[in-house]
Structure 1
Amino acid sequence: MLEDTKEIADFHAHVYYDRQSREVAARVREELNTKFDVRLGRWHDNPIGPHPKPMYQVAFLPEQFGAIVSWLMLHRQGLDILVHPTTGNDVADHTNHALWLGDKLELNIEFLRAIKTT
């Protein structure tokens, strides 16, 4: 791992969907699970935390970043996806360090700031 990225514990991809695209999201999820060694989070059919739409999370290791993000770029099937590192600074991870595939959604960053101060 590069010296200046050693503080990245892992990456999260948040795959957003709605009622009409849930089946598409399920196919993307199954393919990710089949093709890669990832940790799949639960389905959240309602907005949760800073996330403005239903989503599920996919966690993966830094050395998988190139393969997984490249695959998502080509196979996201129109879904919006937030990719961010886990460094211990949730606000920066979801803003300054974030990568978006598709549309950039408006996250509730105040939610993350409130967690940080409690």
Structure 2
Amino acid sequence: MSATPEFYPVNCHKAYHAHIYFDQQSVQQVTDICMQIEDQFGLKVGRMHQKLVGPHRRWSVQVLFSHRDFDVFVPWLDSAREGLDVLVHGVTGDEYKDHTDYAYWLGQPVDLDLSIFTERL
């Protein structure tokens, strides 16, 4: 299931992260997607964390990209994810807002541990 139009990621920041969530059964699928991201887009793909890292309560891999990549990369990722859930968020320096106000989901939202961030008022 793709993101609904009113919640589809919006290109309004200079930098972004995409966190692709996976499990033991989808390791090869996400490995293939990461290789395609590097080959087709030349984007920086982080380590595949087969453990919980940061606010993520599922295994994940992070992709770094910019506003210049956004309009081509995000629709491609939405199509290529084939059922995997993906968090796309802006990188603004306010990690709490990045993972809440500036967060969009491709697929189903995944619970995050936001307690590790300090909410700025």
TM-score range, shorter chain: 0.7 to 0.9
The TM-score normalised by the length of structure 2 is: 0.85
* AA at the equivalent of 1:112: F
The superposition leaves residues 71-92 of structure 1 with CA deviations (integer Å, 9 ceiling, x where unpaired) of: 0111111111000010111000
* AA at the equivalent of 2:19: H
The corresponding residue for 2:62 is: 57
* AA at the equivalent of 1:37: G
Give the Å deviation of 1:12: 0.4
* AA at the equivalent of 1:103: Q
The TM-score normalised by the length of structure 1 is: 0.87
The corresponding residue for 1:24 is: 29
Moved over 4 A (4+): none
Give the Å deviation of 1:9: 3.9
* AA at the equivalent of 2:69: Q
Whether 1:41 and 2:23 are equivalent positions in the alignment is: no
CA–CA separation in structure 2 for the residues paired with 1:72 and 1:40: 13
Kept after mapping to 2: 8 A contact 1:37/1:60: no
Give the Å deviation of 1:43: 1.4
Listed as ranges, the gaps of 5+ residues in structure 1 are none
CA–CA separation in structure 2 for the residues paired with 1:42 and 1:112: 22
Listed as ranges, the gaps of 5+ residues in structure 2 are 1-11
2:74 to 69, 77, 81: 69
CA–CA separation in structure 1 for the residues paired with 2:15 and 2:102: 13
Work out the percentage of aligned pairs sharing the same amino acid.
35
Whether 1:87 and 2:86 are equivalent positions in the alignment is: no
The superposition leaves residues 37-80 of structure 1 with CA deviations (integer Å, 9 ceiling, x where unpaired) of: 21111111011110000111000111111101010111111111
Give the Å deviation of 1:111: 1.1
